[in-house]
Structure 1
């Protein structure tokens, strides 16, 4: 066995009483094993190495090891060293994480299929980034993102989403919430007090903006998207919108309201925050461009890799008005480092190699198939339920038959091991929550191997909770 402590694979704090070195060392090792700090199979340092580290005689450590082997705490073999034995009778750690059994089939909104992550292709981009990154890219990343990555994103967003994206206006962050928080704090520093939010949306996003110091003012959502006329009444300094595919109702912001919101922003000096969370996923071939293209000086466009790659990638981007750049840089300085440079460079390679485009096309085909399956099964069930929302994204609404409450379907689905939520779960206030006969179906969430089963079980739950139809 090597005499190098580092080669043992562990670094462990052991309390030692100088009045009883052997006894206290044995007690410390027993305690480390008992509490789980030393797991079964963990190799311990050689006696010479541990003795030098603790400042005791080698014989003291050797005697302690021999004692603990005899007691069954440790195991040893000549030439192989000493390691923690697998003691079936050892007490469990004093504190364990509480485990909650998760539903087997997930159909919640806003969640992508993590099993579709292109592991091999992403790994190739990571390897290339690590191999080719210049030395200066291995330090702390620039506050707004690596310059090359900002350029690549600007070119991609202009091509794929119609965004007017000067690289100098592109900001890269650790994720959507990170960038939203950064923008929120920048707005507050500039004097903003109120941000309007759609009456249905992500609770996390509302919480992030509130934590940044902004007052939230929910505005109604109807068949044309967010009610832009309501912005005047709430005296908003900014508004957070999901114009391409409202989350979670699934309606796009109408052309007239797109024009209206940019006109409002110009007139009042306010900022439109455009959350383009799933803009790549349209299934009816009618591309809806970014609102940002209508007025780049009053719209901040935000996107993320979480839906097209995986949430674990932890990268997002924003294209902001020029006047916000210095404030965002200062906010980043205060908040700490953004996305690491190697991940950013890997994303740039992934986009430049067209792997990103191929991934989006694969996901688009699969999510379209799931959406069509859900629609077909709902119709075939004869329950009277109807699929609503634009043919886009990773989710849709299902309007339930008259007299059927969303809570009843959610409960029946849970009995079938399916997790789904009612529209009320996404409401910003009680008035919005009054729509209690609609569920949000995140068909993008389940892994491919169980996606069809999850959809079929949900449709069966809807039929079971619905009145019989002759």
Structure 2
């Protein structure tokens, strides 16, 4: 359909009116570049005019550069407007960077589209009335599957009754902060360096926030105890941005702290299931003190941006309040599809494939850093979708990130993640979730050229 007003009382030919209407809609952005238009036969029928009138209008618009016509593909809006009609109607766009090495960047190539469609089709044929009902905590089938899967793969001690399905991490942690605020918590802690948005979300929930230093062994529990906070958000495996893994001693100390202050640990298990080292990685912190740990996970690192699903395994006081809080859960069909994706073994198989892919990318990134960035050192354990690179003394990481952006490389400087204290060293956080292995050496090579400019200045 292409609604066009034709005024037969005007002396202006109908062909000219059709041309003018389509041209105006292209110029004002109503008709987007690449959009397919109705066939000349269909548009003529819709307008009640001769097909030859529409054919002539289309041909003249093609000649003018507004449309393009391809055999088998129909008539479409041209990708670029004629030069005389550019300007306000076609605002200048900043060129997209070729290499996205930001810490949370992922690619749709991570998404198992064929397997997901197979699961979707299976659920669509057998859904019955379950797809029309709404469950505040998520559909029972998915909560059952998540409880079993998390227990088997991550050692999480939970039941379906304690599981809540959510949409994504930001919304999940916002809900958790608000629930803890209702439970009397007004001061929370986050890792520093850490993801800045975590602190912003907590502040919006009315909480006071303290940044707690992180070193190679994870969060500094002694500093946490001195802060006076009663809840803390930690990433025990592949901490963002340092890549640190919480040491066994720190894990025990953190759980003792939670019991001593009658507090809570929010465990974001972002990359625990993506461990690809020689031995198996650490299990969830939650299994050692389930009454004090709120366990949070998402599909982001294994599905990319295509499906946004999250979950919370919470102790009874938190789980009970989550049931009375709008969680923004995904539609039931998506939840049921994910439940089948787990139960059929497709999730296990997909994670094995993702581990292999990410292991190869991390190795390529390490080799590229050693080759192109002399004096830099990649740290962190073999897991997840990012690595931390410590830069040589005196390199300005913020300036380096800006110069890299000019060379079509998006990357986060270490200072982007500082909360409340400044690290004496500079570094870059290199994500490899969105860049193919074969392109990583080229991306790091461009980063090296940018570092050369920083050193020269």
- With the length of structure 2 as denominator, give the TM-score of the two structures: 0.82
Question: Aligned partners of 1:422 and 1:48: how far apart in 2?
Answer: 59
* 1:182–1:98 Cα change, 3 Å: farther
Q: Note if 1:179 corresponds to 2:172.
A: yes
Structure 1 gap segments, 5+ residues each: 1-7, 51-60, 76-82
Query: What are the superposed Cα offsets for residues 331-354 of structure 1, whole Å, 9 maximum, x if unpaired?
Result: 11xx6x411111111111211222
Q: 1:295: how far off?
A: 0.8
Aligned match of 1:207: 200
Question: Aligned partners of 2:314 and 2:173: how far apart in 1?
Answer: 12
Q: Note if 1:423 corresponds to 2:414.
A: yes
Pick from 255, 264, 270 the counterpart of residue 257 of structure 2.
264
Question: Aligned partners of 1:415 and 1:38: how far apart in 2?
Answer: 32
SS in 1 for 2:240: coil
Question: Aligned partners of 2:377 and 2:215: how far apart in 1?
Answer: 17
Q: 1:449: how far off?
A: 5.0
SS in 2 for 1:402: coil
Question: Aligned partners of 1:368 and 1:182: how far apart in 2?
Answer: 34
Are the equivalent residues in 2 in contact too, given 1:250–1:390 (CA < 8 A)?
yes
Pick from 289, 292, 296 the counterpart of residue 295 of structure 1.
289
User: Structure 2 matches for 1:1-20, cutoff 5 A?
Assistant: 8=1
SS in 2 for 1:330: coil
Are the equivalent residues in 1 in contact too, given 2:368–2:440 (CA < 8 A)?
no
* 1:460–1:391 Cα change, 3 Å: farther
Question: Aligned partners of 2:445 and 2:348: how far apart in 1?
Answer: 30
Aligned match of 1:330: 324
Aligned match of 1:142: 135
Question: Aligned partners of 2:45 and 2:331: how far apart in 1?
Answer: 40
Q: Note if 1:252 corresponds to 2:241.
A: no
Are the equivalent residues in 2 in contact too, given 1:36–1:93 (CA < 8 A)?
no
Aligned match of 1:123: 117
Question: Aligned partners of 2:158 and 2:87: how far apart in 1?
Answer: 53
* 1:284–1:84 Cα change, 3 Å: closer
Are the equivalent residues in 1 in contact too, given 2:27–2:90 (CA < 8 A)?
no
Q: Which stretch of the first structure deviates more once superposed, 123-132 or 454-463? A: 454-463
Aligned match of 1:222: 215
Runs (4+) of structure 1 moved beyond 4 Å?
A: 14-17, 20-23, 25-34, 38-41, 44-50, 65-75, 83-98, 459-467
Q: Note if 1:450 corresponds to 2:453.
A: no
Aligned match of 1:42: 37
Aligned match of 1:57: none
Are the equivalent residues in 2 in contact too, given 1:141–1:339 (CA < 8 A)?
no
Q: 1:148: how far off?
A: 0.5
Q: 1:296: how far off?
A: 0.8
Aligned match of 1:54: none
* 1:171–1:418 Cα change, 3 Å: same
Question: Aligned partners of 1:68 and 1:382: how far apart in 2?
Answer: 60
How many residues of Structure 1 are paired with residues of Structure 2 in the alignment? Answer: 433
Pick from 306, 309, 318 the counterpart of residue 303 of structure 2.
309
* 1:295–1:409 Cα change, 3 Å: same
- With the length of structure 1 as denominator, give the TM-score of the two structures: 0.80
Are the equivalent residues in 2 in contact too, given 1:169–1:320 (CA < 8 A)?
yes
* 1:379–1:47 Cα change, 3 Å: closer
* 1:21–1:198 Cα change, 3 Å: farther
**Alignment RMSD (CA, Å):** 3.6
Are the equivalent residues in 2 in contact too, given 1:406–1:436 (CA < 8 A)?
no
